[in-house]
Structure 1
Amino acid sequence: MKNIDNCELTIQLSKQAHQDAHKFASQQSTPEKVKQVYTNTLAVYAVRHFLQWLGIETDLSAGDSWHSVIRCFNDVADLVIPDLGKLECRPVLPGQTAISIPPEVTEDRIAYIAVQFQEQLNEVQLLGFYPAIDPQSPPETIEISRLQPIETLIDYIDRLESAQFFLQSDEEVAIQVRERLVDQPISEIATQLERIYRTYDKYERRYAGGEFLASYVPAHPGFAFRGGAPVVDREESDDSQQTELQDLAEELLEKLDEIWGGEPVNQPVEVLRQWLEGIFREDWQPKEAVLTTVLKSGEQSQEVSRVKLIELGSHVVALLVSVGLDSENEFSIHLRLYPAGRAIHLPEGLQLTIVDDESGEILSQDQAEETNDSMKIELEKWNQGDRFSVKVAIDDISITESFAI
């Protein structure tokens, strides 16, 4: 892979890019659509230039953004990588802090790349990328703060290519997937499997993968996957099919785990200093929305808090994180675990572990006893750029959340 620095993230736009952008924009009927098509076209050219520099082949004319009728009625800026899928190249105009995700670009996209425009349109900057989203529950926008570094895009593409290669192989599990999802493109299967592998913990992948496979398998009332033998009872058929799809997904994701070499990279990292600016990921909610009886002792008025529900098998707990700015450069973080759902105590044996991501050192660890109704750990004197992980575990089930200051 080529080395990428900040200078190389700035793309000079060619005369041809502006000529095509002007041509496509002149076909539109409103000033808003003219601006949209012009910047979309330039964004596609910028990403194409970057991929050419990396040695990645693209097909400029194969995308919807190069189709006159489609771009007239849709907000599209896609760039096709042959045999792999589409990148959506989303413009970011001055003052914007997020990229928009129109409904028409929520499917068949392997990633979204943010292309920053300035007042002058002679050059743009690639801010980063966001991997494939769940088309069943797509976001309307993606915050710039949640983007992954553009230099890791080629690693992500390599993962998708290796997954596609495996899915087209003679491995028994790959054959079964092709037979079950006969009408689904291999590229889309690989992309969504990578998303599940990246966004779900290991114990959850079986169920998420089973749901994904089931969403593309036609329902056949009265039949289950038992060598083609009919099953009269519909409920029994549904349960049997779901179990078999979960088994298949689990085996498939274990194979991909071997190919990809262990736990996925680029897991979401929550940047806590952004909480002080009012920027939060959707899965971190105000504590009042989740915890109705939480004790407020120990919380400081200048802290910003958010809470996230964590499922550990049959147990559900709430992780409350508070961050405060103690001085110009030092932050303090308070971590608390509370029972959630109908539970009044934390499950006995529940472990809360804090790990320094740079050194791998365990900074603090606590374990719940039979009647604990909360657990808490405090971290002091953290600086911008520091990173740590919070692991919540019981028995052989664990969830890890990653944070940066």
Structure 2
Amino acid sequence: MNLRPYSESYPVQNPRISYRELQLETIDLEPEFFEKATLLSRHSNTEAEQWQIYLNTLALFALEKWLSDRQLTLSSQTYSLLRTQVLNLEAVSPLNVEQFKLCLIARENLGNQTLEIPEKMIDSPEFAAHFYLLMRVVLEEQQAVFIGFFRYDQLDGRNLKQTDTGNYELSLSELNPEASHLGLNLKYLDSTAIQLPKNELAQQSFERLTQWLENIYAADWQPVEQLLANRPPLVPFCSPINFRTRNLSSQKTIEKSLKTLQMSGALGHQNPGDLSQAELSDVLVELLQTTNNEETRWQAAEFLWEINPNHPAVGVRRAIDLGMQLSGVPVALMVAILPKPDQRIAILLRVYPLQGFLPTNLKLIGLDELGQSLFEVRAREQDDYIQFKFTADPGDQFSVQVMLNDATVTEYFIV
């Protein structure tokens, strides 16, 4: 879709502002708003999405201008918000203003005098807001019109009508059209007066994974080598290697791992058998810092844990004994984190038996901050471990459950 400069005409179904809208507050749209909206809309591939991004961006800049005129500010820079939240398309939420969360809804035309809001924007703790603000972007007039707002607590006890697409439907007549009332609420109301749905993880004690990179751990999280010291070596984890005294089983494990890396091209033309321990360590560190292949990075990390576990490039791994909480079943949960070049964090979760094999049907389950399932891995007969790998952003919250029959242990994390 090729968006035209703001000064040209746009195909608007109803270009005139209604009589009711003439009584509403308007915000003039500056030329640079249109330029930035055009640039940002190109991040999407479909015409419909590009157009909604364009409208969302203009409305967000208009809101920032409106707030500034009232000595109120968004807690984040507008342009950083645009690159993350405006692409949501359905609405821009949550926007933090002072102690409040706002949900901004931008429309070009108001159609049949009703407003559809995606269900998650009201029910989800991630998106629910204290105030929902509707703006109409009138391109021909180069203005955004403040149509009205409503408070989240006004929905309590109301049977919201749901459409066939799962959205909630409100009549525009239910919105408060007085922009000054919103400004007064933002300045003088206590946010605790409007109760939002609570995050499932909000009251839990989190283990902060990025603190592990600073050697800060809760007492229960032990070094892997210490907790798993009495169990037999496993592929690919085993006790630290002494190249001169390692046993045949460890040697075969190492050679197999190296062969896998060599076959994938990760070691280039170098023959792993010809490398000294120090040279191999350098090769693996370089691989960690340059490859874009996640499996190769984890292979390199795990092998580096074998030969140089204290190297600063190798990330961190810790384990916790869950036996006392899981009906006495001797298992441990290991969490390993590996920083990525793009500032994200690669995470590896493993459940180990401390004796023998894992019980059949033991489950490793990941949940998001809303308590929704992200993954589930089930142990089979004679499994040495079960695992799951994923990537997260700083600030992401999740929980991990280890479940066996009626017993469940849950650990909570924030990246």
Q: TM-score range by the shorter chain?
A: 0.3 to 0.5
Q: Tell me the TM-score normalised to structure 1 length.
A: 0.36
Question: Greater helix share, 1 or 2?
Answer: 1
Give the number of the structure with larger relative contact order, counting CA–CA contacts within 8 Å between residues 6 or more apart: 2
TM-score after normalising by structure 2: 0.35
